Amino acid sequence: MKLLVVYCHPVRASFCAAIRDVVVTAAEAGGHDVQLLDLYASGFDPVMSEQERTDFHTEGSNEIPVKAHLDALKWCDGMIFVYPTWWMAQPAMLKGWLDRVWIPHVTFRMPGDVISWKPLMTNIKLLGVVTTLGSPWWWWTLGVCAPGRKVLMRSIRTCCHPRCKTFWLALHLMDSASASARQGFLEKVRRRVARL
C-alpha cells in the first residue's frame, strides 16, 4: 500500500512524535511505501488567502497553490492522520490543510443542477486516525459529540473510495496518562498498523 502519513504537532519531542515514529516504522516493516507529510516541519501555511478563496470553485486555478499536496493525495492508497486533539478537534494547522487542500473538482465534485456530490479521491481505500485528547472519552463522545472525529471519519471519508476502511485510535486523558499507559497505547498503535 502507498501510505500517506499526515502529521501535525509543533513540538519535535512530543508524544505525538513518538506515535508518528511507530506508525511509520510499523508501516514500513509491513512492506508499505510510506510518505510522511509533516505540516510543521515543511512550513505549511494553513491560512487560505483571499485569492485562494476567490478561486476555490474554479477548476484548475484552485489547484495551483497546493499542487504538491494534491499530488501526494493522488499518489496514496491510504492515509493515516497523527495529531493532538485541541479544543475537541484538529489543530488549526491541520484544519487549514484540510481547508486548502481538499478542494472541489479534485477531491470531490460539488452538487449541482444535474449532478450530486461525488467523491473524487477514490484511490484512497484506507483512512486512519491516531490522536491524543486531554478529555475523558465520555465527555468528548457524549458531551460534545466528537466533532474532530466527524470532520475526518464523516466529511473527509465521503471524498474517498465508497468502501474505504477506517480506524480510529485515541488516547484520552493524555495529560495525566502514566508512562505505562502511554507505552501501552504505542503498542496498540503498532499492532493496528501492522495489520494493514
pLDDT tens digit string along 48-57?
A: 999 999 999 9
Over pLDDT 70: what percentage of the chain?
A: 98
Average pLDDT over residues 40-60: 96
Give the Cα separation of 101 and 107 in Å (integer): 8
Give the Cα separation of 149 and 191 in Å (integer): 21
pLDDT tens digit string along 152-177?
A: 999 999 999 999 999 999 999 999 99
pLDDT at 74 over 70: yes
pLDDT of residue 140: 83
Reported confidence tier of residue 85, pLDDT bands at 50, 70, 90 = very high
Give the Cα separation of 159 and 79 in Å (integer): 12
Say which amino acid occupies 169: L
Reported confidence tier of residue 111, pLDDT bands at 50, 70, 90 = confident
Give the Cα separation of 108 and 158 in Å (integer): 9
Give the Cα separation of 163 and 122 in Å (integer): 9
Give the Cα separation of 13 and 34 in Å (integer): 21
Q: How many domains does the chain have?
A: 1
Q: How far is CA 26 from the centre of its chain?
A: 18
Three cell numbers written together for 75: 499518489
Q: What is the domain range of residue 32?
A: 2-194
Q: Which residues pair with 84 in a beta bridge?
A: 132
Q: Which residues pair with 165 in a beta bridge?
A: 126
> Around Cβ 101, how many Cβ atoms within 10 Å?
21
Dihedral sign for Cα atoms in the order 98, 104, 107, 113: positive
CATH number for 88: 3.40.50.360
